[in-house]
Amino acid sequence: MTPAARISAAIEVLDDIIQRRRPASDALKDWGLSRRFAGSKDRAAVASLVYDALRRKASSSFAMASETPRALVLGMLAGLRGMNAAEIAGLCSGENHAPAPLDSDELALLTAFSTQGAPDWMRADVPEWLWPAFEQAFGAAAVEEGQALAARAPIDLRANRLKTNRDGLLASLEHLAPEAGAWSPDALRFQPGHDGRGPSLQTEPGFFAGEFEIQDEGSQLVTLLAGARPGDTVVDLCAGAGGKTLALAALMKNSGRLFATDLDSRRLAPLHERLARSGATQVEIRIPRSRGHEPLADIAGEVDLVLVDAPCTGSGTWRRNPDAKWRVRPGALAERIKDQAEVLARAARLVKPGGRIAYITCSVLPDENDEAVRAFLGRHSGFAAVELGDVLVSQEGDFSLLGRFATQYGLQLSPRRTGTDGFYLTCLTRSG
């Protein structure tokens, strides 16, 4: 496919996503299945164009005075990829599957491409109904925070301490030009290329050997700050595919007891293979037998640390899932808040006196973060938030610089602040 044909394909896929309100991954899969002529590079290029257009959906619609898929893709080429009007016009010849030629209005708007005068939520590329929450979270920096969440994400990996260390991994992956992470002592980073893609890390020998896992540096950092120690009894209560479980196992040096569970047992399926690859030997997977069954009832009140990677809107991961922010609705947020209350109540029953709950979300919305903690503390008088300063001075080192990003009860990371996904962490201790 030519670059122009790929742009036409991206417009077609984007139209499917918008018209049918479906995940981008589903629309791209269907497009690929119906276009057998498209090779892997073509499919990757089209996907990159689609995701980039979704990242800048609101700002492009303002600058192009239109919300059509064509306008969104053309606006993205100017606003995110930095192409000028002449370059974009050259791709829109109308020939050989290229988009139709630019009309006079499109040419004028691309020539003067600007979001000046746009509402803040459009400049930030944040859904309008969520904008008050963004302003509550970030104040005067809300537009810049939204713009950072509308950028492309790097690819981060975590060196598996059970197999290697970051210096060893830097050497073995030198041919891919990694960077050391800024915060996590285990993190390496790969910047996206011009087309938004990074290296194919899952084909590296070190991946098959279990030397690393792909994991955002923010996810690594909040897991580290949760405070798991060798010899502890630890529960990963919403383990999913097990990214944080694997990180906990490495931090605990395969010592102690580590339980992984999830209410949706299907999400745990990949963890078995990942554990075998990682060399983690102390992890026990507990699968609920039915709805309402507590698979950890036998250790209630005995756990040193319960890590709650709570279900949330995922607003902190919009760089990686740009279509998700345009599909989330108020009802979904209300449902997630209910889920968060329920999972925190489960954690409270499991943790022992003097033990700790680490409440984590990949959200930047206060309703899912500080407000969820406030509600929990109001219902559970035996718990208190750990002072952030005590959380940031850990056995892994002094992370006190992160104190600049304190909230009332915890810590808020974001792409603009820390170069990571938007993770939130609060640690809660049980007094009795």
- Residue positions forming the annotated binding site for S-adenosyl-L-methionine: 262, 309
Q: Which residues fall within 8 angstroms of residue 40, CB to CB, at 6 or more apart?
A: none
- Residue 39 to residue 239: CA distance in whole angstroms: 35
The sign one gets for the Cα dihedral 27, 28, 34, 35 is: positive
First to last CA, the chain: 65
Give whole-number Cα distances, 130 to 134, 136, 311, 406, 414, in Å: 7, 10, 18, 21, 16
Cα atoms found within 13 Å of the Cα of residue 78, Cβ hemisphere only: 27
Positions annotated as catalytic residues are: 362
Q: Which two tokens stand for residue 350?
A: 């499991």
Q: Is residue 70 helix, strand or coil?
A: helix
356 within 8 A of 348, measured Cβ to Cβ? no
What is the DSSP-derived secondary structure letter of residue 352?
Answer: E
Distance of CA 264 to the CA centre of its chain: 19
Give whole-number Cα distances, 174 to 74, 131, 229, 432, in Å: 37, 42, 31, 50
- Please report the DSSP string for 130-190 in residue order: GHHHHHHHHGGGHHHHHHHHTSPP-EEEEE-TTT--HHHHHHHTGGG--EE-SS-TTEEEE
The sign one gets for the Cα dihedral 281, 284, 287, 289 is: positive
- Residue 170 to residue 187: CA distance in whole angstroms: 10
Amino acid symbol at 177 = A
